[in-house]
Structure 1
Amino acid sequence: MSNNDPQHKTHPIFGLGGFVLPAENVRSFSSFFFKLKQDLFDGYDIPKARKNAEKNGERFQLSTWEKKGSKQYSVANLKNYKNLLTRSTNRIINRITGDGGFLFYVGEAKKRDVESHDAQQVYTNSLREVIKRLDDEFKNQDSQFLIFMDDHETRTQIVKNAIYEMHQQKKYQLIEAPLQVDSKLYQTIQCADWLCSIYGKLSFYDAEPDVKPEYELFKRYFGDRIATAQKRSNVRNNLPKRATQLSLSKLTDKFKV
């Protein structure tokens, strides 16, 4: 509803996103991303995580350690480590496109009528759109594809709906229903989480720039790069624009007597 609402304050857009890679390049990309994480975080985050694990009597495994996109792509990090963050992101995007892949995302503005809002239906609609667009893309290439998603216990019914979409709507390029996996075990899912953090801030700024003006930094540093590396992606925002303080002031000046 708004950035200050006590409950409905997370994001004006709901969407799904990630990236696409040819099957033969997935393994090498996972190794690339794993090495990139070590290069980025070996100085502080990884030693800290290892120390915390030892303190708690746990075994630290670098292979399952992850850095969440929401922590990596914060406004503060982009301000303080702009060169490091933009260079590493460009390396990721260049690797994806160089391997014959592309970035991908779909989204839509949330309805303001909370009473009629069905979160599961919104998620189902987005997943249906993902399947439709990717199926169309790979039909043109005479190729098939699989979808891997971050695991979440509430998505079982959503995946069932995806199976229905796959079989009833004749989405023949999709090999099997979307697979839910533990992000700790999949470098590709962790990378998708990083990219989605960028997609989320870009879509928020496009939808309501006055609410999160600080997200302009993401538009400035990543907007064009994301746009050129994506395929069949967009965010639908059919909601009326919120009135800004400037527009309200102009109306007041125009009609005051």
Structure 2
Amino acid sequence: MYFVYLDEFGHIGPYIERSSRKHNESPVFGLAGIILPEEAVRPFASYFLKQKGLNFKAEIDSTGKMAAKWEKKGTSFIRPKPMRQYTEARRLLHRVMKKVGDSGGHLFYYGREKKRGLHEDLNSIGLYTTCFAHTLRQLDRFCHARNSSFVVIVDQHSARKELLECAAKTMFGHKPCIHLASPPFEVESYLNQNIQAADWIATLVGRLAAYEVCPEEYQDYAYLREIFSDRLNDLKKNSLLDKRPRREVKSPASGPFASLAVLRDSMK
């Protein structure tokens, strides 16, 4: 059995452009995280906790909390400027990603490029449930190829009812996800080390995906592509970024997700 830890990346609301006064969060939205075999769940959590405690000791000590109840959000340090300044932060993220692979696990993402501008038909919950359903189907294909089942763990969400209904339809509706063992579990992120690791991966994927679809607006994210895209591409499975049609198609190897131009090349 595989355990899949997922968090959101990008932003669920409208997007105009990065320089806009409003609706400037992200041109993409999706879910990303880590896939771990059952036997690796606890060892990976222990490893992540140890790495977090070593690398952010001063911050943890300043709060008076134990490391197991302290959370470091990916958005607070997976940015070009901190990554340029702090070599150890770059190494930490590389170590976490490498540990996923060494544990027999993989990285995963599914996301979509949003329409630009203010659209009356934009349905945030609809976008979330659509991405969630596609995520479950991609993971079901991953497990089908390995004759295994999987469970999904997510952070607590305000649209809990809608997500559970979406999962139920995907599990038991038309073309059901037969390898999904149960509806998703919600956890408190500050108490779950693996969901925190998923948050870091989701943050990184969100930065790289924003650069992929809007490179002219997110030139500062090119630095993150340079240092992380190779390892991400090596470890990802059944991952997909759905981009909107363009009149001009760029070279398949030009973006941070070099293989995304083929879209489904990692579905093996």
TM-score under structure 1 normalisation? 0.86
What's 1:15 paired with? 30
Question: CA offsets per residue over residues 13-59 of structure 1, 9 Å max, x none?
Answer: 011000100011100100000000011011x2112222xxxxxxxxx
Distance 2:209 2:31 in 1: 12
| SS of equivalent to 2:148 | coil
Match of 1:201 among 200, 204, 207: 207
Match of 1:235 among 241, 247, 256: 241
What's 1:174 paired with? 180
Query: Among the aligned pairs, what percent are the same residue?
Result: 29
Distance 2:163 2:18 in 1: 28
Taking the TM superposition and a 5 Å limit, the aligned residue runs for 1:95-174 are: 95-112=99-116, 114-168=119-173, 169-174=175-180
Distance 1:153 1:206 in 2: 29
Which deviates more, 154-163 or 71-80?
154-163
Unaligned runs of 5+ in 2: 1-15, 249-268
What's 1:226 paired with? 232
Distance 1:198 1:217 in 2: 12
Match of 1:89 among 87, 90, 93: 93
Instruction: Kindly indicate whether residue 224 of structure 2 is the aligned counterpart of residue 215 of structure 1.
Output: no
| SS of equivalent to 1:177 | coil
In structure 2, do the counterparts of structure 1 residues 119 and 241 end up closer, same or farther at CA, with 3 Å as the change threshold? farther
Contact kept, 8 Å, 1:72 with 1:194, in 2: the verdict is no
Contact kept, 8 Å, 1:64 with 1:184, in 2: the verdict is yes
Distance 1:14 1:62 in 2: 30
> Whose strand proportion is higher, 1 or 2?
2
What's 2:46 paired with? 31
Question: CA offsets per residue over residues 119-146 of structure 1, 9 Å max, x none?
Answer: 1111111111111011111111110000
Distance 2:38 2:193 in 1: 14
Question: CA offsets per residue over residues 175-209 of structure 1, 9 Å max, x none?
Answer: 00111111011100000001111101100111111
Distance 1:118 1:153 in 2: 15
> Whose helix proportion is higher, 1 or 2?
1
TM-score under structure 2 normalisation? 0.83
Distance 1:85 1:62 in 2: 17
Question: CA offsets per residue over residues 211-240 of structure 1, 9 Å max, x none?
Answer: 111101110000111011101112111144
Aligned length: 231
Distance 1:188 1:121 in 2: 27
Give the residue type in structure 1 aligned to 2:212: D
| SS of equivalent to 2:111 | strand
| SS of equivalent to 2:25 | coil
What's 2:66 paired with? 61
